[in-house]
């Protein structure tokens, strides 16, 4: 039996995903959460082998939650689910450590297949995502500068560009202000920028916020 936990702030969509998965005799949904706080509590007690994690949630977004889950529950395999087209987020999710990316509006049977695939230890990649991944590996010189950022560095970039202070960022990411300052310095160096204003302009121009 594959134990699955759902994390999505839309109750109706969670219900639809749950109904789809429970039709499979080898999958059991053991819990549901509407955000990171609920998920953190849930994972302390609910058995979870595969986490279906939405990208677009209030507070901590899915990529931030992914980074936290990888740190605290490295045994859980994460399947990102979203309404966003694959070309917007799929590659970043995979590079950030997710085992797969599935579109909520796709064929429900593909979602079941995705859960089984990541549970088996393999990555779930649609042909489109597989091609994007291959292109990113074969043509690194064509990537935008921010493609070289780690997930924590990207989070720092996005939060600074959203107007948040380093102390607020440190609290949200559960890191020390000194650590966030280090991430900021790395971002500025990698993007060859000088200050937060230039960083914000870069983020807006590249549609990162």
Give the pair of three-digit tokens for residue 63.
């990529």
Q: How many CB atoms lie within 10 A of CB 63?
A: 20
pLDDT at residue 109 in the model: 85
Residues 79 and 120 in one domain: yes
- Split into its structural domains, the chain has a count of 2
Residue at a domain's end among 111, 138, 165 = 138
Residues 66 and 126 in one domain: yes
Structural domain span for residue 44 = 2-138
What CATH number does the domain containing 201 carry?
Answer: 1.10.10.10
Residue at a domain's end among 138, 156, 191 = 138
Residues 45 and 122 in one domain: yes
Residues 72 and 169 in one domain: no
Find the length of the chain.
Answer: 209
Residue at a domain's end among 103, 138, 173 = 138
- The reply to whether the predicted model has a pTM over 0.95 is no
Q: What is the DSSP string of 19-76?
A: HHHHTSTTEEEEEEESSHHHHHHHTTTS--SEEEEES--SSS-HHHHHHHHHHH-TTS
pLDDT at residue 130 in the model: 73
Mean pLDDT, contiguous 10-residue spans, the chain (209 residues): 94 91 94 93 95 84 86 93 74 85 82 94 83 65 74 88 90 88 92 90 84
What confidence tens digit (pLDDT) does each residue in 126-148 have? 777 777 777 666 655 456 788 78
pLDDT at residue 129 in the model: 74
Residues 13 and 70 in one domain: yes
Residues 126 and 85 in one domain: yes
Give dist(CA 58, CA 110) in Å, integer. 27
pLDDT at residue 184 in the model: 93
Give dist(CA 134, CA 107) in Å, integer. 24
pLDDT at residue 33 in the model: 95
Give the pair of three-digit tokens for residue 89.
């987020």
């Amino acid at each position: 039996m594959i134990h699955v936990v759902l994390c999505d702030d839309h109750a109706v969509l969670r219900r639809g995903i749950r109904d789809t998965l429970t039709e499979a005799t080898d999958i059991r949904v053991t819990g549901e959460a509407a955000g990171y706080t609920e998920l953190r509590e849930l994972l302390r007690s609910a058995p979870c082998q595969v986490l279906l994690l939405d990208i677009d949630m209030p507070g901590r977004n899915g990529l931030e939650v992914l980074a936290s889950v990888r740190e605290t529950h490295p045994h859980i395999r994460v399947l990102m689910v979203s309404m966003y087209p694959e070309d917007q987020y799929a590659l970043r999710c995979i590079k950030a450590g997710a085992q797969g990316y599935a579109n909520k509006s796709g064929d429900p049977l593909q979602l079941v297949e995705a859960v089984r695939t990541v549970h088996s230890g393999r990555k779930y990649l649609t042909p489109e995502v597989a091609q994007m991944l291959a292109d990113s590996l074969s043509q690194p010189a064509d990537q935008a500068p921010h493609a070289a950022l780690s997930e924590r560095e990207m989070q720092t970039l996005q939060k600074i560009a959203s107007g948040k202070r380093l102390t607020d960022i440190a609290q949200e990411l559960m890191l020390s202000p000194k650590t966030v300052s280090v991430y900021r310095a790395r971002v500025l160096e990698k993007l060859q920028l000088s200050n937060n204003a230039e960083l914000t302009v870069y983020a807006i121009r590249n549609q990162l916020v």
